[in-house]
Chain A
């Protein structure tokens, strides 16, 4: 797992992107898989060579023991990574986090109490997972997506962490990474206080300047400093390099670097080249500024130096509607149908509805 002990610059280069053109997580429309923090921070394979879809009957999903068998086949990971998300939706990114979008999301679940119901079922999924996995498994990584943090109330976030804490050992271990994304400035400092109080020790500030609701680029430095003042160990930054941002970012990059984010992930929405003629990804000035500030490119040698190889196996389990999970041998998805999600959990089963065998090349 990424230790965060050195500053890094992750360049979304072709060596990583070409194998993943077809993989798009439902909750991160348009972003390459490597631009998603749970993947990056948890033993990312060099390449997923996608095999055929595996019929669920072959996995034996009548009960949840198939996951245990898969774990045993994948070198019996003793480490568990959990990633939490709200249902994937495809908002107009310019309207992200507007009141109307929040209302629309809530209305999808018919009422605010329906969102609470969704959380209750995520808790159920955690509890079924706990019963399925070996007793000795330790939680070494937990991830909250940005939408979760912004849509859930403080009470709901507390409830979620309460049941995670109850279900898995390792959460209070200082080495455990408890990560929360922030896609927009918190409504009040109380959210930061709560996240820290719940044990979050790593914050990912995502895509500043991307929408009108994102962290404004001129304020990123202050936000990084404020997050650190609250006692967060690591602050990571993702820069989603749209064409518009490519013009603005060089004006603020020195300021942002002076706040010393622990890692900078540079990603680009979409898979095609920029429409702008002569555009170089990433912008040269930004790249030079990061290299000058001694940020290290995360290339193959970086991964090797981290000690990632095929024997470092995690189970990365996504929790929630449509969530993606993987071991070294299998990639599987939770169902995207809300009713089916609830029904499977009520039946005591993990809510998986498709799986694909993988041949992974690890570092």
Chain B
């Protein structure tokens, strides 16, 4: 009598392969046929766990891999010669970091875990070899890269042209849409970063961030308690982004 091999796996296992990963529809496997996911799993190093404050990579270290966020949250930042830290992005599960350094020899920024985080490491040289064999994978990779590039430039535009209210509204909408992508609530979520990081990222003073959030609360646009945010009036927040240059933010809140 044939016996089937029964494969058990805990739903809490961090070593889920790409097949079982709940983020497979957001992450790299979306570009790969079921038959090829095994080939993808062979090159991806899964389940690296990081505590809050742990580095995924450091600025100017040799570039080797991109990383997919599996759980938790990551911030990227650069450090100037004066030692000043500049936050350059926040990354949530299903998103990739390191894409901005792909054509360089070194990482252009550092990446650190904002909370307990797991990542999947994608060594670029092996990934490129596989991508030449799976055209959809290559296309998806460049699609991710182009999105990263666009969002970086849109952020630059946002910071150069918009008020504090518009910047914070844009960030809240961005987070909202990213939670929505993961089939989570887009109106109730926890901010993965402290206000100081938000301020640094948006080029504002911490006090300004707190004041604007309070103002939004008084206008009944949001309710904030600590890091917990509840968006009461999503359309009201979107209406704040009136500038035609930010039309895409209005639609999808697309800054990183």
Chain A residues near B246 (CB, 8 Å)?
189
- Asked if A159 and B150 sit within 8 Å, CB to CB, the answer is no
Interface class of chain B by DSSP: helix
User: Contacts of A157 on B, CB cut-off 8 Å?
Assistant: 146
B247 contacts across to A, CB distance below 8 A:
188-189
* CB-based contact A116/B139 at 8 Å: yes
A4 at the B interface (CB under 8 A):
no
Query: Size class of B's contact patch?
Result: 20 to 34
Residues of B contacting A193 in the complex (Cβ-Cβ under 8 angstroms): 149-151, 153-154, 157
- How close is A193's CB to chain B, nearest CB, in angstroms? 4
Question: Is A75 part of the binding interface, using a Cβ–Cβ cutoff of 8 Å?
Answer: no
Among A154, A162, A229, A231, the residue within 8 A (CB) of B102 is A162
Report the minimum CB–CB distance from B151 to chain A (whole Å).
8
* CB of A5 within 8 Å of the partner chain: no
Contact B152 A155 (CB under 8 A): no
Q: Is A226 an interface residue (CB 8 A)?
A: yes
Does A158 make an interface contact (CB < 8 A)?
yes
Closest residue of chain A to B151 (Cβ to Cβ) is: A193
A-contact bits for B136-159, CB 8 A (1 contact / 0 none): 001110110111011111101100
Known interface pairs A162-B145, A165-B103, A189-B247. Does A197 touch B153 (Cβ–Cβ under 8 Å)? Answer: yes
A158 touches B102 (CB 8 A): no
* Alpha-carbon gap, A155 to B142, bound state (A): 5
B248, A190: Cβ atoms closer than 8 Å: yes
Contacts of A229 in B (CB 8 A): 157, 161, 245
Question: In the complex, what distance in Å separates the CA atom of A282 from the CA atom of B154?
Answer: 39
Taking A190-B248, A226-B245 as contacts, is the C-beta distance between A196 and B153 under 8 angstroms?
A: yes
Known: A159-B139, A194-B153. 13 other contacts (CB 8 A): A116-B139, A154-B147, A158-B143, A162-B102, A162-B145, A165-B103, A188-B248, A192-B153, A193-B151, A193-B154, A198-B149, A230-B153, A230-B157
Chain B residues proximal to chain A, CB less than 8 Å: 102-103, 135, 138-140, 142-143, 145-147, 149-154, 156-157, 161, 245-248
Interface residue ranges, A against B (CB under 8 Å): 113, 116, 153-159, 162, 165-166, 188-190, 192-194, 196-198, 226, 229-231
User: What would be 11 A-B contacts, judged by CB atoms less than 8 Å apart?
Assistant: A154-B146, A156-B142, A162-B103, A162-B142, A165-B103, A188-B248, A192-B153, A193-B149, A196-B153, A197-B152, A230-B157
